[in-house]
């Protein structure tokens, strides 16, 4: 009895990672991809939109938000805008930019904001911070801007202008407990990090807290501590981070002299050093 012949072996196709398709799409767009854009770039754009859709579905599609777009093309740029329907708005931007040999490389949406006035103020503040370090192309676009720094600006601006009532009523928030106690309850998370990598906690009085943003190589992310906005004339003179101040883009990734750990929040290099006023 003759053995049954086996079918030819089909090699397993590895799906490229998001970072790989992102690098390929960015390189092709910066080199001057002709319209219509190649299928490779369009496939990456769909991956970006899919990631945005997953975030919006889990946190609310029709909400006031800021969005950040990394756009590659003849003149690379970063765009910070606002919309009450960011899914539709971002897709409109993609359709428009593809006509002019530009493509979407990455996208980010912030937490939802409850009212139009708050998200408008957050947008203005994010644009102000970006304008201090990058050349504006339009009101919302900044030439050759750092995408991660733009995300940091948008996230902090939203947290600063989020109404306190909506913060306390978010899922997971403890009703009836002051935000000061909530922050102290999360201190154990920071103790697990290296001493030079912890976000410094404010030395302000109870009930007066500030926004602390921490980004470094070890944490590989942004840690936003939302708290009550410092009271004008009371807390702003106590060594706190004032509204409108932001770290320099070069400090985001952390760097320092040889033998020293990367810079922590606002450039500080040791826990307990307090919150330093960022350079602007």
- Note whether 119 and 66 are within 8 A (CB): yes
Instruction: Name, of 101-105, 210-214, 226-230, the range with top average pLDDT.
Output: 101-105
- Provide the token pair at 123: 């947008």
Domains contained in the chain, number: 2
66 three-class SS: strand
CA 5 to chain centre: 56
The answer to whether residues 121 and 153 belong to one domain is yes
pLDDT at residue number 191: 44
Of the candidates 161, 184, 219, which is a domain's last residue? 161
Of the candidates 161, 177, 210, which is a domain's last residue? 161
* Residue ranges in the chain assigned as alpha helix (H): 18-30, 39-59, 86-98, 116-131, 147-161, 164-168, 179-185, 187-191
pLDDT at residue number 229: 42
Instruction: Name, of 11-15, 152-156, 274-278, the range with top average pLDDT.
Output: 152-156
Instruction: Calculate Rg over the CA atoms of the chain.
Output: 22
The answer to whether residues 115 and 66 belong to one domain is yes
156-202 pLDDT, tens digit per residue, is: 999 999 876 554 444 444 333 333 333 443 444 444 444 444 333 33
The answer to whether residues 38 and 89 belong to one domain is yes
**Spatial CA neighbour of 196 closest among 111, 126, 262, 104:** 262
Average pLDDT on 21-43 reads 92
pLDDT at residue number 180: 35
**Spatial CA neighbour of 198 closest among 223, 181, 180, 179:** 223
Q: How many CB atoms lie within 10 A of CB 245?
A: 14
pLDDT band at 269 (very low <50, low <70, confident <90, very high): very low
* pLDDT at 257 > cutoff 60: no
70-129 pLDDT, tens digit per residue, is: 999 999 999 999 999 999 999 999 999 999 999 999 999 999 998 899 999 999 999 999
The answer to whether residues 97 and 181 belong to one domain is no
pLDDT at residue number 221: 40
- Provide the token pair at 101: 């040999």
- Note whether 170 and 112 are within 8 A (CB): no
Q: Evaluate if pTM is beyond 0.75.
A: no
Average pLDDT score, the chain: 71
* pLDDT at 245 > cutoff 80: no
Does residue 11 form part of some domain?
no
Does residue 1 form part of some domain?
no
The answer to whether residues 184 and 205 belong to one domain is yes
pLDDT at residue number 156: 96
Does residue 12 form part of some domain?
no
Average pLDDT on 132-147 reads 96
DSSP secondary structure letters along 117-136: HHHHHHHHHHHHHHHTTS-B
Structural domain containing residue 112: 18-161
Q: Output the CA torsion 77→82→86→91 (10° steps).
A: -40
Does residue 102 form part of some domain?
yes
For 215, residues 6+ apart whose C-beta sits below 8 A from its C-beta are 148, 152, 221, 222, 223, 252, 253, 254, 265
Average pLDDT on 208-228 reads 39
């Amino acid at each position: 009895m003759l053995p049954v012949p086996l079918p030819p072996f089909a090699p397993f196709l590895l799906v490229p990672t998001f970072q790989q398709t992102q690098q390929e799409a960015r390189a092709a767009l910066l080199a001057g991809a002709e319209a219509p854009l190649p299928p490779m770039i369009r496939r990456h754009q769909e991956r970006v939109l899919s990631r945005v859709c997953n975030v919006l579905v889990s946190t609310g599609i029709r909400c006031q938000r800021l969005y950040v777009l990394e756009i590659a093309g003849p003149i690379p740029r970063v765009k910070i805008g606002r919309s009450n329907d960011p899914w539709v708005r971002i897709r409109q931007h993609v359709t428009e930019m593809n006509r002019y040999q530009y493509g979407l490389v990455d996208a980010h949406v912030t937490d939802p904001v409850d009212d139009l006035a708050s998200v408008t103020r957050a947008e203005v503040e994010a644009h102000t911070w970006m304008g201090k370090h990058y050349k504006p192309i339009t009101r919302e676009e900044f030439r050759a801007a750092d995408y991660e720094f733009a995300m940091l600006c948008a996230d902090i601006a939203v947290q600063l202008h989020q109404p306190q009532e909506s913060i306390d009523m978010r899922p997971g928030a403890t009703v009836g407990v002051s935000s000061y106690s909530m922050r102290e309850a999360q201190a154990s998370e920071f103790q697990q990090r290296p001493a030079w990598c912890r976000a410094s906690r404010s030395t302000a009085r109870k009930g007066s807290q500030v926004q602390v943003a921490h980004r470094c190589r070890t944490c590989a992310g942004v840690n936003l501590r939302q708290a009550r906005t410092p009271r004008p004339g009371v807390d702003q003179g106590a060594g706190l981070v004032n509204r409108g101040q932001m770290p320099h883009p070069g400090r985001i990734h952390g760097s320092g002299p040889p033998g020293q750990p990367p810079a922590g929040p606002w450039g500080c290099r040791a826990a307990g050093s307090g919150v330093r006023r960022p350079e602007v």
